[in-house]
Chains A and B, each alone.
Chain A
Amino acid sequence: MTVDVEFVTGTLKCYDEDGELASGIPVEMQITALPGNGGLSFSTASRFETSDENGGIEFERLVRGASYKVRRGASVYWTSFTVPLGTDDPIAIDDLLGHDVH
């Protein structure tokens, strides 16, 4: 017996205000809702990833059907998104505006 859960990878591409790929940008994510099938518990602690030299960020092991909030840099506001059902993997995280600390 195991509890069914499906993980996918979520991706973002970060750019700066000049339209250049932005490396070293921190993006923070928190789970806000689970799929609702029962039997699952997740921590709501924040997780962080930082954009690589190509502006790319990958959040691995996102739960298909779950909702998350995400913010870039020092932004006050969070953007919510839900990991789509289906078979796509990786998935593109919803577009995200943010304020970077310089």
Chain B
Amino acid sequence: MLYPGDVFTTEITTHDAVTGAASDADSLPTAVLVRNAVDTVVVVTVEKKADTTGVYSLTATIPEDWDRGDSIHFLATAAVNSITANAVVLPNILGDEATREEIIIPPSPPGFITGYLQCYDEVGLFAVGVPVQIQMTQVPDVGGLSFNTNVRTETADEDGMVYFTKLVPGATYNIRRGTSTFWQSFSIAAGTTDNIAIDDLLGRDT
């Protein structure tokens, strides 16, 4: 995820239009940073990558006052053997710096950890309000512990984040998203003290 203030950088390659072979451009390619389909005046630095043929870097700093949800990309132009071509490069949707700082994993008490997931819909946007359920299926086997097997449900927040606090190191859980028929299993290694990213999870929403 990119945020206002971040450095936006990538590489492009140039080719001979007839043979397809990598080839240096006739002159240094140019590029503009496009925001919401409008060309901007943000400075894009284009540099030839040393010891390569036809590889150039594009670098720009995303202005601090751009907004979450802005669609951005580079529009690069290069000519090889007098044939000029354009390319849309690295399309992205901006996140919000303030939001990034607000995403803090809720802590769990000593002896427990917090597991988290970030939920997206089928087109890659945050899936707000998606329910995720977990159920303990195996206790840590350290003796003297009893948990129930009730299902607990958490819902994705505005950043698609779902947090399960008070997960038990050494335990195994089933997890599912939405109305998925199938549950996926994940285990937390005994002795884990850091919060964890729960295993990637596919699911069907209501």
B42: CB under 8 A from chain A? no
CB-CB < 8 A to A2: which residues of B? 1, 95, 100, 103, 118
Beyond A34-B200, A47-B123, whether A9 also contacts B91 by CB under 8 A is yes
Kindly report which residue of chain B lies nearest to residue A4, judged by CB atoms. Answer: B1
**Chain A residue with Cβ nearest B197:** A39
- Contact partner, B120, options A35, A36, A42, A46, Cβ 8 Å: A42
B199, CB-defined interface residue at 8 Å: yes
B199 cross-chain contacts in A, Cβ below 8 A: 36, 38
At the interface, yes or no: B202 with Cβ under 8 Å from chain A? yes
Stretch of B124-132, B142-150, B166-174 contacting A (4+ beta carbons < 8 Å): B124-132
Contact A60 B91 (CB under 8 A): yes
Chain B: minimal CB distance from A72 (Å)? 18
Contact B105 A41 (CB under 8 A): no
A63 to B177, CA, bound (A): 18
Contact with A along B111-137 (1 / 0, CB 8 A): 000001111111111010010100000
**Is A14 among interface residues, defined by CB-CB distance under 8 A?**
no
Task: Assess whether A101 is interfacial by the CB under 8 Å rule.
Answer: no
Partner of A39 from the list B116, B130, B205 (CB cut-off 8 Å) is B116
Q: Does B75 count as interface, using CB distance less than 8 angstroms?
A: no
Q: Say whether B200 contacts A43, CB under 8 Å.
A: no
Given A5-B1, A61-B125, A41 contacting B89 (CB threshold 8 A)? no
**Interface size of B as a range:** 35 or more
Evaluate contact between A62 and B103: CB separation under 8 angstroms. no
Tell me whether A3 is interfacial, beta carbon within 8 Å. Answer: yes
Tell me if A43 and B100 are in contact (CB < 8 A): no
In the bound complex, how far is the Cα of B120 from the Cα of A93, in angstroms?
21
* B residues adjacent to A (C-beta < 8 A): 1, 10-11, 88-93, 95, 100, 103-105, 116-125, 127, 130, 132, 162, 177-178, 180, 196-205
Q: Please, could you name 19 A-B residue pairs with CB atoms under 8 Å apart, sorted by A? A: A1-B100, A34-B200, A36-B200, A39-B116, A39-B197, A41-B120, A41-B132, A41-B200, A41-B201, A42-B121, A43-B119, A43-B177, A43-B178, A43-B202, A44-B122, A61-B123, A89-B89, A89-B90, A90-B88
Q: A41-B201, A42-B202 are in contact. List 20 more A-B contacts (CB 8 A).
A: A2-B1, A5-B1, A32-B202, A34-B200, A35-B200, A38-B197, A39-B200, A41-B120, A42-B121, A42-B122, A42-B203, A43-B122, A43-B178, A44-B122, A44-B180, A45-B204, A47-B122, A61-B124, A87-B11, A89-B10
**Nearest 9 pairs between A and B by C-beta?**
A61-B124, A39-B197, A34-B200, A38-B197, A3-B118, A45-B122, A41-B201, A41-B119, A43-B122
